[in-house]
Amino acid sequence: MKDAFGRMDEKHRGLRGQILDLAQRVAAGNVPQSIGGSGGDAGELAQLIAESDGVKQFLNGNTPSCTIPVPARLMYRNAITSTAPGVTDPLRPAGGRERGIVAGPEQRLLVRGLFAQVPTDQGIVEVVRESTFTSNAAIQGNDSSPTGSGEGALKAESQFTFGIAQLTIPTIAHHTTASRQILSDAARLGGHVSSRLVYGLALKEELEMLAGTGSGLGMNGINNQASAFTGGVTNATALDTLARAINQLQVSNFEPSGIVLNPVDWLAIQLLKDTQGRYLIGDPAATTTPVLWGLPVVPTASQTLGKFTVLDARQAGYIADRETATVRISENVNDNFVRNLVTILAEERSLIVIERPTAIVYGNLSHAG
């Protein structure tokens, strides 16, 4: 019993150390800037998968498959059969390889963070919208009431109509194949591959949520449902255009919460100068959060060049999460078992639900004469 309490105390000390380390990283700003960890190594997600008890049980032959849920905070094709000669673990620091596998750069994925994220246990989301509202509010009895106070007079009646839209939550998924030997010999390679698969899910999710056309089973994205910008003025600057788009929402009783721009367009705005050559958007030497007209700017390559989106995300809608990202590893695919191959599958089920399209404005930054 004493030994058991000792082990528990040691475990709690380790947990406290992890929490302290995370707090220090957050305070120092040393946290991953994109989903799936940094591009230079396997990242936290890769380590989580590589060290998963389910993966260990699978590689030991105790189970034909395993599933690893991916924490939401980490969301954000030929078979792999061998590594370089003499390499036992490409992610283990050795021989000067402190950085491990060098992956391609990962795009910062920011659209999901704009919206509330709501778990659901249904595969279909119903959106009930008010189609029309005719307000006939009036003074009881009007001015012609025989009693002078309106008592006993018929009160006015207003009318409503409603419509229901049913939205199916799509599945985003992809997979790859590796040999059981390489996953066993290079344990963290499986974690690296899995984390890259999860990043692929998140990248596709962002593209669909922002720019999906709604065709087939795809998402009907933010831009496709947005109200058109109506305040375009010939030769207006991008700053003028965005100010008018913000006003378009404000006069419709919305409170804009963010601006989505392509990084190239955001840079062009940052480089705007006055007649004396001074930058309009602050001091280039200063470290500032991207902000225009008091609203945070979200620069993402998922936005079409030359376009902008201004939105009141709180009233526009939310993200429905049926199943957050999971990684599944199995040998029960085709003839994998007799070939000592395994299939690594990453998938999720999420949907952007736009309840009020009028809370979003989408248009062209430039209105040349």
Confidence of residue 221 (pLDDT cuts 50, 70, 90): very high
Q: What is the pTM of this model?
A: 0.71
pLDDT score of 89 more than 60: no
pLDDT score of 3 more than 90: no
Predicted local confidence at residue 187, as pLDDT = 63
Confidence of residue 171 (pLDDT cuts 50, 70, 90): very high
Helix (H) or strand (E) holding 203: helix 187-211
Predicted local confidence at residue 317, as pLDDT = 95
pLDDT score of 170 more than 90: yes
Predicted local confidence at residue 22, as pLDDT = 41
Report the pLDDT averaged over residues 162-177: 92
Predicted local confidence at residue 337, as pLDDT = 85
Range from 12-21, 247-256, 334-343 that averages highest in pLDDT? 247-256
Q: Quote the percentage of the chain above a pLDDT of 70.
A: 75
In the DSSP assignment, the letter for residue 146 is: T
Predicted local confidence at residue 28, as pLDDT = 37
User: Which phi and psi (to 5°) does residue 263 adopt?
Assistant: -55, -30
Sign for the CA dihedral angle at 358, 359, 360, 366 comes to positive
CATH classification code of 34-117+170-213+319-354: 3.30.2400
Q: Do 293 and 246 meet the contact criterion of CB atoms below 8 Å apart?
A: yes
Residue predicted with more confidence, 328 or 93:
328
Predicted local confidence at residue 73, as pLDDT = 61
pLDDT score of 359 more than 60: yes
Residue predicted with more confidence, 189 or 145:
189
Confidence of residue 116 (pLDDT cuts 50, 70, 90): very high
Domains 34-117+170-213+319-354 and 227-317+356-364 are alike in CATH topology:
no
Length reported for the chain: 369
What are 332-349's pLDDT values in tens digits?
888 888 888 889 999 999
Q: Do 319 and 118 meet the contact criterion of CB atoms below 8 Å apart?
A: yes
Burial of residue 192 (number of CB atoms within 10 Å: 0-12, 13-18, 19+): buried
Predicted local confidence at residue 335, as pLDDT = 87
Query: Domain limits of the chain?
Result: 34-117+170-213+319-354, 125-166, 227-317+356-364
3-state secondary structure string across the chain = CHHHHHHHHHHHHHHHHHHHHHHHHHHCCCCCCCCCCCCCCCHHHHHHHHCCHHHHHHHCCCCCEEEEECCHHHCCCCCECCCCCCCCCCCCCCCCCCCCCCCCCCCCCCCHHHCEEEECCCCEEEEEEEEEEECCCCCCCCCCCCCCCCCCCCCCCCEEEEEEEEEECCEEEEEEEEEHHHHHHCHHHHHHHHHHHHHHHHHHHHHHHHHCECCCCCCECHHHHCEECCCCCCCCCHHHHHHHHHHHHHCCCCCCCEEEECHHHHHHHHCCECCCCCECCCCCCCCCCCEECCEEEEECCCCCCCEEEEECHHHHEEEEEEEEEEEEEECCCCCHHHHCEEEEEEEEEEEEEECCHHHEEEEECCCCC
Predicted local confidence at residue 17, as pLDDT = 43
The mean of the pLDDT values for the chain is: 79
Report the pLDDT averaged over residues 195-224: 93
DSSP characters for 333-347? STTHHHHTEEEEEEE
Name the least confident of 86-90, 301-305, 349-353. Answer: 86-90
Residue predicted with more confidence, 17 or 150:
150
* Fold type of domain 227-317+356-364: hypothetical protein PF0899 fold (3.30.2320)
Report the pLDDT averaged over residues 113-132: 90
